[in-house]
Amino acid sequence: MNYTELSVATQDVMPNKGVLFFKSGLSDFIQVGEPIQNEDGLTFVGKLDECGDTFCPNCSRKLVKNGSLESTLKHVAIGGIHTNIRVSYARFRCLNIDCQFNTRSQSIPFKADGYRITKPLKEYTEKLLSYGLTLKAVAWLTGLDKMTVKSIHKSLLLSKFTTDGKTLIKPERQAKYLAIDEFKLHDGHKYATAIIDWETGYILYLAHGKKKAVVFEFMDHIGDEWMSKVEAVACDMNSDFEEAFKGRYPKLDIVYDRFHIIKNFNDKVVSEIRKDEQRRLAEEGSPEAAKLLKNSRYILMSKRSTLVQKDEDARKDKLVSTAGEIFNTPEIKAHGGNEVWYDELLEENKLFFTIDLVKDLLDQAYNSHDEVEMCVRLEEIIDICKATKNSHFIWFARLLYRHLRGIYTFAKYGISTGKLEGINNKIKTERRKGYGYPDDEYFFLRLMELSRKAS
């Protein structure tokens, strides 16, 4: 069958000039008559090839033809035009009056199971979905309804990540390290928890909530033998995660994420002290000194090496943003004077000098590959923070002391939740790209596939 010529006789009369001939991929389909073109695209009319003798599955007697039926199936688009296949097929009847089997129809070999589409169209749809296209985009390209596309994709993902459509598959490999973190699922403070294989980045488990129950469900799912070979788990300072893992596997090491420690120091210590000092100077009648602290948050949080690099960029007139004529956007170059400003801040206030000292010691601690050395650095930071008698520094000292073991184990394993944070960003993008997914099961399956593509 071809999509352009009407019959063998027509082909003999009409020269093959400017005509493309190709196989349809539809076995047993014989095209009859001209294609019908309307607002739905092209419809190719035809029938199934004649089948041989057919026998009753109940009494084994020969069946006789008893009329025909017609079905229209969506097919792969041609040159951007959506196509349909309208096919006639035979209906059979058993002549044995005592047989409970009445009639049966000739099967359409190219019809996709469960859908009124052809197998080539289903395969093409699955291929488009594998490229990461949205449901809406695939629906537009194939001419299918968006919910049909979703159904095809979900069935494909279920076959890939479940054993029977209900039970999640076991991890593909034995993991040495895990990482766990929660992410926002829906508005209204609804969260879910993701657990990944730290080395591959593969999502191993997803569940609603961010409590101990999620960890227990995960451990029950994978079993004690697999879990006993895991050495460490990277997480934030959520005590529920630690208690759940350590409660069942006491030898398992918990590694607190470096990013959360640094973020706590910047947000709860650096920012708050800067605000306190700015208010104090304004109240004491030192507006110029208070003005120096304005917009200094980034300067105080940065490493000196970062400030030096920015000053070097300024000396080289490095562009931060190019100018544009269409929207009249200005040219922006790197600003200098960062290190000088930083030194002025340190000279003005002893607390800022202590901030600089703690930042340097934290950097040294996290560059250590020895647990004892890192622990000594952290204890030194705790003593310095307590000596300031500043409430914000004292809060940070308590934070380090309460989580000391989970922090210095970083020196042994060097793992963090960084990979999981990257996946969380992809999760946000995936959710926005699809304008939200009300079917959480389908969304979780998409995320499991996404993590394997991202790795």
Question: Does 206 share its domain with 102?
Answer: no
* Residue 430 domain-assigned (yes or no): yes
> What DSSP string runs through 409-446?
THHHH---SHHHHHHHHHHHHHHHHTT--S-HHHHHHH
* Residue 138 domain-assigned (yes or no): no
Angle, to 10 degrees, between the axis of helix 350-366 and the axis of helix 258-265? Answer: 180
* Residue 121 domain-assigned (yes or no): no
Question: Does 319 share its domain with 388?
Answer: yes
**What's residue 10's pLDDT?**
45
Q: Which of the listed residues 91, 109, 127 is the one where a domain comes to its end?
A: 109
Question: Does 316 share its domain with 366?
Answer: yes
C-alpha–C-alpha distance, residues 251 and 405, integer Å: 13
Q: What is the pTM of this model?
A: 0.83
Strand ranges inside 284-433, DSSP E: 319-321, 332-333
Tell me which residue range forms the domain holding 73. Answer: 21-109
* Residue 297 domain-assigned (yes or no): yes
**What's residue 114's pLDDT?**
92
Question: Does 243 share its domain with 387?
Answer: no
Question: Does 361 share its domain with 226?
Answer: no
* Residue 155 domain-assigned (yes or no): no
Number of independent structural domains in the chain:
3
The answer to whether 79 and 120 are in contact (CB under 8 A) is no
C-alpha–C-alpha distance, residues 359 and 351, integer Å: 12
Residue type, 24: S
Question: Does 408 share its domain with 262?
Answer: yes
Question: Does 225 share its domain with 314?
Answer: no
Question: Does 220 share its domain with 277?
Answer: no
Joined together, the tokens standing for residue 439 give: 């079917």
* Residue 436 domain-assigned (yes or no): yes
Question: Does 338 share its domain with 350?
Answer: yes
Question: Does 337 share its domain with 248?
Answer: no
Walking along the chain (455 residues) 10 residues at a time, the average pLDDT comes out as: 46 57 79 84 87 68 76 91 90 72 78 94 95 92 94 95 90 94 81 94 92 94 95 91 94 94 94 91 83 85 90 88 86 88 84 93 94 96 96 96 95 92 87 85 93 73
**What's residue 11's pLDDT?**
46
* Parallel, antiparallel or unpaired: strands 103-105 and 81-94: antiparallel
In order of 171, 276, 291, the CA distances from 281 in angstroms are 58, 9, 9
Q: Any idea what the CATH number is for the domain that residue 431 is in?
A: 3.30.420.10
**What's residue 15's pLDDT?**
55
Question: Does 232 share its domain with 299?
Answer: no
Question: Does 253 share its domain with 390?
Answer: no
